[in-house]
Copies of this chain bind each other. A is one copy, B any other.
């Protein structure tokens, strides 16, 4: 893999793909974007996202925690309380993520056009 003039070794390349993969999964980016606003509790994330199941919310949060993008703070009261927030690493990854999201935003029209052009060209 090459990035600009840099030749990227295979192992590192896989890691990059792996990270991009995680960020590309169904809920990660959304969670990161929400947590950038402010720390949130489990139930609050659940309410904000609405369409996510407990299972996937938990799974995604665990992945993000494992990769060091978010931190998880348990307050062992009864009932328990768990707060999630972006870690330093998580805040830092927001920058390149923003660049990409903003690009997508700026160019969404061109993509929509490309799609309808493609679709009308390939219709029966």
Q: Interface code A52-87, partner B: CB below 8 Å = 1, 0 otherwise?
A: 000000000000011110000000000000000000
A97 to chain B, nearest CB (A): 7
Q: Determine whether A45 belongs to the interface, using a CB cutoff of 8 Å to chain B.
A: no
Instruction: For A15, give the chain B residue with the smallest CB separation.
Output: B108
Inter-chain CA distance A122–B100, complex, in Å, is 33
Copies in the complex: 2
Residue pair A93, B89 in contact (C-beta under 8 Å): no
Instruction: For A116, give the chain B residue with the smallest CB separation.
Output: B66
A121 to chain B, nearest CB (A): 10
Question: Which positions in A face B, CB cutoff 8 Å?
Answer: 1-4, 6, 8, 12, 15-17, 19-21, 23-26, 29-30, 33, 36-37, 65-68, 89, 92-93, 95-105, 107-108, 110-115, 117-119
Additional 13 contacts, C-beta under 8 A, given A2-B33, A24-B24, A67-B111? A19-B104, A19-B108, A20-B24, A20-B100, A23-B24, A66-B114, A67-B114, A68-B117, A68-B118, A89-B111, A89-B114, A96-B102, A100-B100
